[in-house]
């Protein structure tokens, strides 16, 4: 399902990473949240591919669906 997302206890303490590299999924998501475009991320990190970024976003969406937890201070 997520062939570009790897979790290895020997790499970044088991954080989800892109293709076994030391590029955690959360770093890509942080860049997107800060307003970086996919093209800008690809320019800044030339070892990434467009599909890496797309799959990081899909993985985050999948995780958000899998568990619901109360966020302290969040009002609906």
Q: 6-19: per-residue pLDDT in tens?
A: 999 999 999 999 99
Give whole-number Cα distances, 69 to 15, 39, 49, 60, 63, in Å.
Answer: 20, 33, 32, 15, 11
Q: Which numeric CATH code is attached to 5-66?
A: 1.10.10.10
Find out whether 6 and 16 touch, Cβ atoms under 8 Å: yes
CB-based burial of residue 14 (10 Å sphere; 0-12 exposed, 13-18 middle, 19+ buried)?
exposed
What digits encode the pLDDT tens for the residues 39-71?
999 999 999 999 999 999 999 999 988 765 555
The pTM (predicted TM-score) of the whole model is 0.83
């Amino acid at each position: 399902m997520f062939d570009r997302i790897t979790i290895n206890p020997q790499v970044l303490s088991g954080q989800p990473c892109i293709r076994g590299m030391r590029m955690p999924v959360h770093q890509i998501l942080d860049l997107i949240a800060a307003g970086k475009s996919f093209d800008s991320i690809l320019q800044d990190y030339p070892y990434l591919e467009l599909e890496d970024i797309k799959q990081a976003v899909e993985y985050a969406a999948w995780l958000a669906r899998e568990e619901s937890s109360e966020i302290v201070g969040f009002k609906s």
